[in-house]
Amino acid sequence: MATSSESKSLLEYNNLHIDSDLQVVIVYTEWNEKIIAELLRGVQHVLSKFPSLNVYYLQVPGAIEITNACFRTIELKRAQVIIALGCVIKGETPHFDYVCQSVTQGITHLNATQRIPVIFGVLTVNSVDEAWDRLGGKHGHKGEEAAIAALKMCHLNYQTSIK
């Protein structure tokens, strides 16, 4: 987890209003299987604190396909929040840049145009070592952080729906 006291307060989630029937969909990629498994473990660790949540999983081939799966989930009204997980590791070609830009713009577009929050839990890193630094290493655990962001967005939706 993050080490500064300011960052630690950002990771608090115990006082959030979370509906007992909340449906969470986790969209995750096949690529970089070990890294994705650890991202999922981090998400599950946080979500397990709320045993009444309904959690569903959708696996897609790669990061480009994340946006489509999220959009279809929204279209079918299958979730109140979606957590998108992936890992794109830089290689020797510009493919990395195109994939990162595509998935980032796709998720940003969904967040700007849809009512269901889509949490960006996609690692975009230069190396496998950088990915592991973000999975419990010196940069915290991005899976846990994605789950916390999802819970906070659900709480925000609750707060803005109070009449």
Q: Are 82 and 118 in contact (CB under 8 A)?
A: yes
Q: Are 61 and 99 in contact (CB under 8 A)?
A: no
Helix (H, G, I), strand (E, B) or coil at 71: helix
Given 45, 95, 109, 141, the catalytic residue: 95
CA distances from 148 to 5, 67, 81, 104, 124 (A): 17, 21, 12, 19, 19
Query: Is 17 annotated as catalytic?
Result: no
β-pairing, 23-29 vs 81-89, is parallel
Catalytic residues: 95
